[in-house]
Amino acid sequence: MTAEILSGKSISLEMRDELKTTVDGLKEKGMTPGLGVILVGDDPASRSYVTAKEKACEDVGIFSREIAMDGGSSKEAILEQVHALNNDDRIHGILVQLPLPDSSIEEEVLNTVLPEKDVDGFHPVNVGRMMLGLPAFLPCTPHGVLHMLQRSGATVSGAHVVVVGRSNIVGRPLANMLSQKSAFGNATVTLCHTGTPNIAAFTREADIVIAAVGRPHTITADMVKDGAVIIDVGVNRVEDASKKSGFRLVGDVDFEPVAEKASFITPVPGGVGPMTITMLLYNTVESARRHLARG
């Protein structure tokens, strides 16, 4: 068996076409979705991410506003800009690009974003509503995984899903959403992590394995059963002298051997990654739609 490649890039483009149609419809009603981005400091990776998000907004017709701040900006100065975006009627979604130079203030900054503009899905109100299965902005990477599974045609309802990794950004919300009685879930979910003895004993029984640990080649071929669906959330740099950059990107899954056993598998890069930005757009458009409905 050789796995079918589950391309997040292709699904992402398909969803962006759909979003553009929705945005055009909102504009006809006088509503232009808007995303406000706060970038603190000059981290090259953060700058690259923000630029990609702004380009994606332009592609689907979303208005974007960037607030670039010096890396030495005080907490008070950052919070002032968050409040400004909270009060800006043109802005329906707010993104604070992480990491901040001072990681100790991240929680307070994120919690200052209005829940109805929290398109990252990080605010405790949205996290709580997600846990209860209530309407909420879902965190972008887990939400993207749900759409990938649905559009692949993979059977999730009734499946045994093993999520490897318990971060608050990916692993835990994914486990929660997949176990809920919903169109995206209704699965039996096992959450494994660094404290789990013999993770392979669980992954070998899984219909779907989702790897989100941030460690190269954690999931190997002997850890999965024939026909399993493999979702690789990890993005890791490994040294590669043959590359101009001196490194290449690999996932948490040992791709080639595992692909020989799986039914579907996501590549790295080009798998889950493109979906994260698309779901940010999705949440921003949904926020604008809700705002219009409220009048």
Q: Catalogue the active-site residues.
A: 53, 97, 120
Domain positions in the chain are 30-115, 140-274
pLDDT of residue 72: 95
> Is-above-0.85 flag for pTM?
yes
Residue 63: pLDDT over 90: yes
Per-residue tokens: 83: 């409040």
Q: How many CA atoms lie within 13 A of 126 on its CB side?
A: 24
Question: pLDDT (tens digit, 9 = 90+) per residue, 247-276?
Answer: 888 999 999 999 999 999 999 999 999 999
pLDDT of residue 248: 87
Q: What is the mean pLDDT of residues 83-106?
A: 96
Question: pLDDT (tens digit, 9 = 90+) per residue, 206-216?
Answer: 999 999 999 99
pLDDT tier at 220, thresholds 50, 70, 90: very high
Residue 237: pLDDT over 90: no
Task: State the Cα–Cα distance between residues 217 and 138, nearest whole angstrom.
Answer: 28
Task: State the Cα–Cα distance between residues 46 and 85, nearest whole angstrom.
Answer: 20
pLDDT tier at 77, thresholds 50, 70, 90: very high
| Of residues 171, 221, 176, the one with CA closest to residue 194 | 171
CATH fold for domain 30-115: Rossmann fold (3.40.50)
Q: What is the CATH architecture assignment of 140-274? A: 3-Layer(aba) Sandwich (3.40)
pLDDT of residue 45: 86
Question: pLDDT (tens digit, 9 = 90+) per residue, 119-152?
Answer: 999 999 999 999 999 999 999 999 999 999 999 9
Domains 30-115 and 140-274 equal at CATH topology level: yes
pLDDT of residue 1: 62
DSSP-derived letter for residue 261 is T
Residue 244: pLDDT over 90: no
